[in-house]
Structure 1
Amino acid sequence: MLLTYVTGFGLGGGLIIAIGAQNAFVLGQGLRRNHPVMVAFVCALCDAVLIAAGVAGLGTLIAAYPLLTTVAAWGGGAFLIWYGFGAFRRLFETETLSEKAISKTGWQAVLSTTLAVTLLNPHVYLDTVVMLGGIGGQYPPDARIGFALGAMSASFVWFFAIALGAAWLAPYVARPITWKIIDGLTCGVMWLVAYSLLAPEIRMLLTR
């Protein structure tokens, strides 16, 4: 079981660490010190639930119904364009990381946005349910638990590391230019992910 745990941890970590909309959001909330623990926990918990579902066989079900990924692609793409626009708009505002200047959002709004960034992105399902679930499903039933726990552990370690690490770094990067860079990167990542989701769907519509 130890070997499958390490395998799951390595594969899960390799998929999660890739730059994407979710990581950009967690990093931004950490730097704002805007409920970073809650954001990290929600992202990791969602991953854990999806990994468990994938190893249990949900990936096969999703593969059998491509309409599910199509709906998720349009919904997720629209949300990421909207969120990226918010970051783009902040490029033209004066923002610092000082305690006085930071405008913290209520936990309910942060929670709903965290869930949206996580669950409206089909890449999350491809990584956790389809890929990790497909690989984990190839192991014998008793070894699947170790694989799933390893992948789940990678999610918890990664999200808490970037959220709390960013919160710790916040006082050392409290310059307006820092936020210009962060918001610019956030906008770029959100729109690139949205493009990767919507471009195939648009091409399919145009070729019909």
Structure 2
Amino acid sequence: MQTAFIQGIGIGGSLIMAVGAQNAFVLKQGIKRSYPLPIAILCSIIDALMITAGVMGLGHLITGMPMIKHLASFGGAIFLIWYGANALRDSFRTKGLDLQQEQGADTLRKAVLTTLGISLLNPHLYLDTVVLLGSISTQFDDTVRPWFGAGAILASFLWFFSLSFGARLLGPLFEKPVAWRILDRFICLTMWSIAVALMWPYMKMLG
């Protein structure tokens, strides 16, 4: 039981902490102090639901229905390209971070919808949490497997809350326009790289 729980924390944490669309978005919103608590809660709950589904065996169902993966890949790529383009556009703005202004720049509805889009339209979420963690969990018997899932869920909560609220420490740095430009362009490259990775198998088929 203890071994499964610790492995869940370690493996789940290593997957969640990888640089990706969701983490880049949470980092940016945390720096802006734009609804960090709702975003951290929502990301953590989504991960918890996906991890639970994977541990319960949903990953085998997804791998057996390739149409779901195809639809998620195209929808996710379109969303990531759009979000990356917005980040690139923002990078050409010369002003630095004004915390008082940025805190009211986004609405809660916009923050929630964007969080849902960044999370649920990214197939990597399903591959990492549902399929990969679900597959790894099969090495444990039925009585211990939930503890593996619980460890991965705990890692998710710890990571998103740390990232969302820890990012505000970078606020003074992002009062400088150049730091904000670098972050936005990094986010753009991250989003577009993931979009290309999603579309690459289909590009190879056309080639």
What TM-score do the two structures reach when normalised by structure 2?
0.96
1:101 Cα deviation from its structure 2 partner: 4.1
The DSSP-based 3-state class of the residue aligned with 1:111 is: helix
Q: CA RMSD in A?
A: 1.2
How far off is 1:202 after superposition?
2.7
Q: Matches of residues 45-194 of structure 1 in structure 2 within 5 Å?
A: 45-102=45-102, 104-194=105-195
Report the more deviating stretch, 130-139 or 67-76: 130-139
8 Å contact 2:16–2:156 — kept in the other structure? yes
Whole-Å Cα distance in 2 between the matches of residues 89 and 136 of structure 1?
42
Is the aligned partner of 1:16 residue 2:16? yes
Unaligned runs of 5+ in 1: none
1:169 deviates by 2.5
Q: Is the 8 A contact 1:30 1:165 kept in 2?
A: yes
Shift of 1:121: 0.5
Shift of 1:172: 4.2
SS in 2 for 1:105: coil
1:35-54 paired onto structure 2 within 5 Å: 35-54=35-54
Secondary structure, counterpart of 2:140 in structure 1: coil
Deviations 1:40-71 (A, max 9, x none): 11111101000000010100000100111110
CA offset digits 1:136-178 (Å, max 9, x no partner): 1331111011100000011111111111011233134311111
- TM-score when normalising by structure 1: 0.95
Where does residue 196 of structure 2 map in the other structure? 195
Structure 1 moving runs of 4+ over 4 Å: none
Give the distance between the partners of 1:32 and 1:127, measured in 2 at CA. 28
In structure 1, give the amino acid aligned to 2:7: T
CA contact (8 A) 1:58 1:129 kept: yes
Amino acid corresponding to residue 89 of structure 1 in structure 2? R
Whole-Å separation in 2 of the counterparts to 1:121 and 1:38:
20
Residues 54 and 177 (structure 1), Cα distance of their counterparts in 2 relative to 1, 3 Å cut = same
Residues 117-147 of structure 1: CA deviation (Å, up to 9, x unaligned):
0010001100000000111133111101110
> Cα deviation per residue 1:4-58 (whole Å; 9 max; x = unaligned)?
1000000001111111111101000001111011111111110100000001010
Identical pairs, percent: 45
Change (3 A) 1:172 1:202: closer
